[in-house]
Structure 1
Amino acid sequence: MDMTSQLVALCHKASDPEALARFWAGLLHREVADDRRTVLPNDRVEFPIRFQRSSEPRRRPNQVHLHLTSTSPTDQESTVARALGLGGAHLDVGQRPEEGHIVLADPEGDEFCVIEPGNAYLAGCGFLAELAGDGSRQVGCFWSEALGWPLVWDQDEETAIQSPLGGAKIAWGGPPITPRSGLNRMHLDLAPSPGTDGEAEMERLLALGATRLGDSQCDRAAVAMADPDGNEFCLFETR
């Protein structure tokens, strides 16, 4: 039996989930589901992005931000123009003029980067190429075991994992790690692999270093948990 969890969706808190779903669907060239809050994948290596209503204000930069790739300077400019036209904005996070990536924010201030063409590290990862954020090497190893995704980068306490099928990487930048303040604005939704008992999968994740959270930030059908760095995630009983 394949004892791993499967990535069901990236869950993204928003004050206006329908509007933010429209923004990201337009930017990523994807469709919005009938619930008007879920941005659907275009193929099997992509994952849905599900927007969840939340009244909690942003207290700090997001623990995770998205990296989008470019095939040419013109393509990069086109992505930036599309983001701005959909309601995004340029964002100054101290980047230097000589850096090739462009930092933007979505309509609710969530940071993301449009990466310059020719980036070898993200080659072949697709347009939505990476979920990048703070995190220890321990948490990268945890998620590798949790999802059954190999470590494709493990150097100087920086780690990244990627599905064996390809698609976006999930990366952690190592120390220094920004201190947590409140709930993360993004978290992963997981489900046990087909044929795996939900209780057994929860116990496996606990043995890997996860903890179970008391106050659920998840749907009623899911268990709220946290990884070894304290980042919340939700484990659904079935996919």
Structure 2
Amino acid sequence: MLLLALDSSATASVALGSYQGGTLTVLAHRATTDTRSHAEVMSPFVEQVLAEAGYRGRDLDALITGTGPGPFTGLRAGIVTARTLAFAWDKPLYGLMSLQALAEAAADTARARGHQKFLVASDARRREVYTAVYELTGTGYTLLDGPTVGSASQAPHLPSYGFGAGLYPQDLESQEGFESLQPDAPSLLAAACRLGVENLSQDTSALYLRESDAKVPLARKKALGS
């Protein structure tokens, strides 16, 4: 199964992977640490990973997009790119919460450190974090709570993985080695394969968790009565 994953919930990243016999091989990936250039890089990243691996869009079996939570503009860039490509190539598109990528990247370490329950956190700006709580199972992990958005001081006191935890070590039990971890497309691919792509939702609605800063202006009052 040839899969393409896109995530722009924090940084922007794209990964192409082959999933065969229960094993995922990442064939090519691209990422940027810039949190403000998502719209400019997503399409070129897709073109680059396909070219590097020697495939075309129509060779794909499915696409996966991270659905957040994340900031409005950046998150939309990845989702819209994925929707457009899935339509153009006539391929199925699945949505997966972006924090699942953090859980996938942290789960093995959490198990090794004896953290049966753990928290993942990404930067929500405004001095807040997006969080979710996971619990290890015999074969992986399961979501217990979230996603939520709020101040780090309000988050559960659990071992915490991700860039959001690294920002607020005074409030979260930030785990060494994971202070810069962001949701990314390779980890999103791995999470999707662990869950079973066929079991994923085709709902790609964005998880914003809070209202936009942009507001529709109210109608202006007339200076003179009619």
Q: Larger Cα Rg: Structure 1 or Structure 2?
A: 2
TM bucket, shorter chain: under 0.3
